[in-house]
Amino acid sequence: MALLGATKHVLGWFAPYWKRRWKGISWVMVITVVSIALSTTYPIIFKYVIDSLSAGSATTDVQFYVWLILAVGLARTLTRWILPSSRYVMNLILGLDIKLFHFENLLRKDPAFFNEYRSGDIITRFSDDIDGDVKLAWFGNSGIMRPIEAGFTLLFSIAVMMTLHWKLTLMAVAPLPLIVWIMSKTEHSQHKAYKRRQETISQTNNILESAFSGIRIVIGFVMEQAQENLFKKNMVERKDAEERVVYIRSFLESLGSVVNQVGLVVILFVGGYYVIHSEISLGDFYAFIAYMAGITEPIWTISWFFVSLKMAESSVDRLEAIEKFENKPFHDTVVKPPIQILNVRDLHYRFPGEADDVIKSINFQARPGEKIGVVGEVGSGKTILLKLISGWFVPNSGSVELNDARLSELSDASRAQSIGYVPQDIELFSGTVTDNISMGREGPKSLESITKTAVIGDELDLDKMLEQGGVGLSGGQRARVALARAFYGDTPVYIFDDVTSALDLNTEKILWRNINADFSGALFLVATHREATAAEMDRVIWIKDGQIHHEGQHSDLLRLHPEYRSLFAQD
């Protein structure tokens, strides 16, 4: 019953992909039917040849069957080339469809998803669970079509054998139900073993991703031995998980072969007895042996289907966990340009599962042409506030509004066209500097003017290939590429989370001079710990304990509040 449920679950999951590729699946099915017909016909033709020779039939009759054998043999050879090739191509196509669907789905996930799932685990689900040995891309076509071919070949072979001698057939195939019984008894162990193996693979990728992305920290703090021990422990766990899968797989694979050998022994002894006593002909005897030898692979394939089904179900469960995770709400509201005002109304935010707000009743207004600094000690809530205003976080209560449109109700495209956000943790991608700036977009301003504003100039070759994370660039260079990426969208609102702290004072001075000239009509919200940056702002919002403590011009706050002065490190 559980096996039936697993089959229904997995096949139902694949149904949308099959529906989309029904033409290709139909072609594979047609070739499969032809292969079944040729496989079950071949031994019968040999039977007639042997019986004709034994009966002393005319040479012309024998020649007819010989030519028929040659024709069927050539057709079988051609089919055995076309069928695996067609299956392989469909495997690739289904794998591509699965990846594209889930990648598109992944990009729509709520940001909380990326806090719950580590990148190594996500990569494993998108690679090994789909493309690995006997995984979903294989199972979606070959894993289904091969058992179908095997099942019908087995049924037709047994049907033909029954017409030749039903008693001998029943004795030969009597052990077959043993396979079904053993499969049902090992189902839970199979599922547990395959699930555990995929979990250890995910953990391996998590460890590798963490070690390589933080290799400078590992080396700088002499943590190599600790990383080696962690990786070694994972490898031992993975080896044990892999061994258990191999043991189960080997046992079930060998089961079909044993059953077949028992059937062959029955045919040799009992069938030989029937030939001696003229109950069956020599041709019948050969046909029985040929059919029994020919169903070795179908028996193995059918038994392997149940094994691979459990493997596929484990991978389906892992992908379904991603599918079922909440997506970002879809909105289609569009803010109408030009942006005249940004309103922050009674903003509150707390982290999921926490009791206390980290942002408490924040209210202010800002207009295009203003540069507003957000200042506060570490942990005061500056980054959370900017993430709320950028739309990355959704407030628990209150709202952020552009003109009269709530930011939380804007479409993703409208929000991206309205706000250019540069987070504190800068992410650069594999590709050229130009690729990292444009991100596949067509910008309203030229790349030359954008790089000039971001003070990149001739310092960086725009065709320079960057590695993941911008390895090889200084912190200031990474910051300027990220600023250029934001400027490329030419949005009316820009939000910078302490990004200018990576720049030297002279470069930052040039940056603000360029911004004042090129983006004088835009609104800038800038979190900073640097006094030189705060001095560039038209006004400063001082955040303390998630609330606005004071608001005013930087010079006034310096003069009136000693605590404010202490917030800035020496430049």
CATH of domain 342-565: 3.40.50.300
* pLDDT of 368 strictly over 70: yes
What local confidence, expressed as pLDDT, does residue 512 receive?
95
* pLDDT of 538 strictly over 90: yes
* pLDDT of 549 strictly over 80: yes
Question: What sign has the CA pseudo-torsion 86, 91, 92, 93?
Answer: positive
520 confidence band (pLDDT: 50, 70, 90): very high
Mean pLDDT of 247-262: 73
564 confidence band (pLDDT: 50, 70, 90): very high
Mean pLDDT of 55-68: 73
Share of the chain above pLDDT 90, in %: 31
CA distance 376 to 548: 10
- This model's pTM is above 0.75: no
CA distance 472 to 194: 40
The residue among 297 and 363 whose pLDDT is bigger is 363
Which residues is 348 bridged to in the sheet? Answer: 397
CA distance 173 to 283: 20
Domain range list for the chain? 15-324, 342-565
What local confidence, expressed as pLDDT, does residue 6 receive?
77
Most distant CA pair in the chain, distance: 121
* pLDDT of 184 strictly over 70: no
What local confidence, expressed as pLDDT, does residue 506 receive?
92
CA distances from 119 to 95, 373, 388, 389, 428 (A): 20, 33, 24, 26, 16
Are the C-beta atoms of residues 488 and 517 closer than 8 Å to each other? no
Secondary structure (3-state) at 305: helix
What local confidence, expressed as pLDDT, does residue 495 receive?
96
* pLDDT of 204 strictly over 60: yes
What local confidence, expressed as pLDDT, does residue 256 receive?
64
Tens of pLDDT, residue by residue over 384-403, are: 999 999 988 889 999 999 99
Q: What is the mean pLDDT of the chain?
A: 85
Mean pLDDT of 431-454: 87
Q: Could you say which DSSP state residue 340 is in?
A: -
Weakest mean pLDDT among 181-195, 343-357, 546-560: 181-195
* pLDDT of 221 strictly over 70: no
Share of the chain above pLDDT 70, in %: 93
Q: Which among 242, 247, 137, 140 has a CA at the least distance from the CA of 199?
A: 242
523 confidence band (pLDDT: 50, 70, 90): very high
Pairing type for strands 397-402 and 342-349 reads antiparallel
What local confidence, expressed as pLDDT, does residue 89 receive?
92
Among 17-31, 430-444, 454-468, the range of highest mean pLDDT: 17-31
What local confidence, expressed as pLDDT, does residue 571 receive?
47
Among 228-232, 280-284, 413-417, 535-539, the range of highest mean pLDDT: 535-539
Tens of pLDDT, residue by residue over 270-319, are: 888 888 888 888 888 888 888 887 777 787 777 778 778 877 888 888 88
The residue among 183 and 422 whose pLDDT is bigger is 422
What is the domain class of 15-324 according to CATH? mainly alpha
What local confidence, expressed as pLDDT, does residue 260 receive?
67
* pLDDT of 3 strictly over 70: no
State the number of CA atoms in the 13 A half-sphere of 40 facing the CB.
Answer: 20
Whole-angstrom Cα Rg for the chain: 35
Tens of pLDDT, residue by residue over 132-174, are: 667 889 999 998 998 888 888 888 888 888 888 888 888 877 7
Residue type, 2: A
Tens of pLDDT, residue by residue over 96-131, are: 999 899 888 888 887 778 777 877 788 888 887 888
Tokens 């100039």 correspond to 457
